Amino acid sequence: MTQMFHLAWFVANGFGVQGFHDGWNSPWSGTNGRDFAKADFYVDFVRSLERAGFDYIMLEDSSNVPYTFGQSHETYVKHAIATPKHDPAQLAPILAYVTQHIGIVATLSTAEYHPYMLARQMGSLDHISGGRAGWNIVTGSNDGTAQNYGHKGHHPHDERYDRADEFVEVAQQLWASWEPGAVVMDRDTGTFADHSKIHPINYEGTYYSSRGPLNVAPLPQGRPVICQAGGSPRGKEFAARTADTIIASAKGVAEMKAFRDDIRARMVAYGRKPDDCKILFLVDPVLGESAEHAAERKVRAKAEFDANLDRELANLSRVTGIDFAAMDPDEPFGELKSNGHQSVLANRIADGARTPRELVTSRSSTDSLGLSGTPEAVAAQMEEVMAEVGGDGFLFGPRTVNRRSIMEITEGLVPALQRRGLVRTAYDYPTFRENLLAY
């Protein structure tokens, strides 16, 4: 029997100017530059994904005007890299309101929130969406963000995950602070909720404390779907313990399979069932009318990418905290140390990158399989890959995001996958987690 898999979409520039890679001013970007701060584009976007049966849309986030590259904001604001970036927590309820089935995942950083505030916000989203809220847990990367919140820089990489462990524990306890039957709405006695089923948590930890209970009624899903992306050993450990879905950047089938096997083994060590977490791998398929047409589009996209070295290096500087403007792009770098996204660097160095230029050209983080061709051909490639990896699905994270590129996936590729019986044609359950764990 064909093994079905899941689909999600990673909105890689969050609630920001879409298409900073291909240009907000490209021929197909429409009014994305002018209208980026309005909800209309995202409303069309999420409805298209829901029509295609996606499990979820994931809104990336970051929270500073970066300056790591050349110690200046210039490259970032020129190309709209992570700037401006509006708050995904404001967009998520709108997307929930205009849809009925798809999961809405917002990125909220443990470095920027207190667990109580986050638990309340996510709880509210789960209610507004009727059980479709998701939280992408990030722990912070760029020191500029920490500085915006009054700190000198971020805590050390692994300590951030220790804090995140505790953060999640507090949030989980707050979501459980109302027993499921606490809201009784007994008209005869005039009792809305039964106080004996609502409990303070009185949490006192190393990093956080909170009295509780949460002032949000029991969540439709009990707790939001938890999404995570850390690729370092410490990040994987955190995800294995906590996540319902992991979004992963891995290159090639062998790396994907190894990543998935590794996470599943770690989950078992935490007493979890491996099938309770769906690992989705980033892809950026290039579609065309024919194999040749797709190949030609790919060559053009690569040329455009390579011609914008500063833009790509600036982005890498932002997530790693390393100033690549201070280096000769073609001189080998020595040892690179990052307190930011460690796996991003490690993967590219493992691919053989030895100079800053090679860091950006060696691996596009999303072009992990080199998928290219007609929708039918790409669907066949995806089927083969999933069969080898063992599951669970793919995360589209295209460098080009505009109404045309979205339609190519939702109206071209997904129907081809549906014809092969690989992805859903209708949602079976009311909540996000139930659909995610259905197969």
In the complex, the residues that contact ligand FMN under the rule CB under 6 A are 10, 60-62, 107, 136, 138, 141, 157, 229-232, 235, 247, 249, 282, 341-343, 397
Which phi and psi angles does 312 have, rounded to 5°?
A: -75, -40
Is residue 235 within 8 Å of residue 161, measured between CB atoms?
yes
Report the nearest approach of ligand FMN to the CB of residue 136 (Å): 6
CA distance linking residue 265 with residue 261, whole number of Å: 6
CA atoms within 13 A on the CB side of 383: 19
Nearer to ligand FMN, 59 or 422 (CB): 59
Report the nearest approach of ligand FMN to the CB of residue 9 (Å): 11
Give, rounded to a whole angstrom, the gap between the first and last alpha carbons of the chain.
13
Report the nearest approach of ligand FMN to the CB of residue 121 (Å): 16
CA distance linking residue 350 with residue 358, whole number of Å: 12
Which residue's Cβ has the minimum distance to ligand FMN?
235
Amino acid making up residue 303: A
In the chain, the largest separation of any two C-alpha atoms, in whole Å, equals 79
Nearer to ligand FMN, 23 or 235 (CB): 235
Nearer to ligand FMN, 214 or 283 (CB): 283
CA distance linking residue 135 with residue 232, whole number of Å: 20
Q: Quote the strand ranges of 209-258, DSSP E.
A: 209-210, 225-228, 245-248
Report the nearest approach of ligand FMN to the CB of residue 189 (Å): 47
Report the nearest approach of ligand FMN to the CB of residue 430 (Å): 27
Nearer to ligand FMN, 213 or 230 (CB): 230
User: If we measure between CA atoms, which residue out of 58, 214, 198 comes closest to residue 123?
Assistant: 214
Nearer to ligand FMN, 86 or 273 (CB): 86
Structure tokens of 332?
């080998």
Nearer to ligand FMN, 62 or 173 (CB): 62
Report the nearest approach of ligand FMN to the CB of residue 399 (Å): 13
